[in-house]
């Protein structure tokens, strides 16, 4: 699984200026033989995330026919909601399940932008 991204996430959250929106994208290379299991887990995560305070938009994109990479796209109204989401238990449970069930074929790629 990936190294804990929390230090990078916390650094990014601390650098966010008042009034800035944050865009987070996550690329997840999923084992094709476990795609349906991953999709169910992702659907549960997204349903919970959409209730998170500060989330403005969240979308998932399934892989193209020549890829096994899923994309999660999130827009947050500021750092407070995203910080709460990252520090909450639901995201940690999702990350643990990815590892325990060996659903990924490589490291997730996490990117942030300020808007």
Domains and CATH numbers, the chain: 24-114 (3.30.70.100)
41-61: pLDDT as tens digits: 999 999 999 999 999 999 999
Model's pTM, two decimal places? 0.86
Distances (CA, A) of 83 to 6, 26, 32: 10, 16, 31
Residue range 68-108, pLDDT digits in tens: 999 999 999 988 899 889 888 999 999 999 999 999 999 99
Q: Kindly give, in sequence order, each residue whose CB lies less than 8 Å from that of residue 64, ignoring residues fewer than 6 positions away.
A: none
């Amino acid at each position: 699984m990936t190294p804990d991204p929390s230090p990078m996430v916390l650094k990014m959250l601390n650098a966010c200026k008042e009034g800035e929106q944050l865009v987070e994208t996550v690329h997840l290379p999923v084992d094709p033989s476990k795609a349906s299991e991953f999709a169910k887990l992702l659907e549960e995560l997204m349903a919970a995330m959409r209730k998170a305070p500060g989330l403005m938009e969240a979308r998932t994109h399934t892989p193209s026919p020549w890829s096994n990479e899923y994309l999660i796209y999130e827009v947050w109204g500021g750092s407070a909601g995203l910080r709460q989401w990252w520090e909450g238990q639901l995201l940690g449970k999702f990350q643990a399940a990815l590892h325990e069930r060996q659903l990924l074929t490589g490291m997730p790629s996490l990117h942030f932008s300020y808007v």
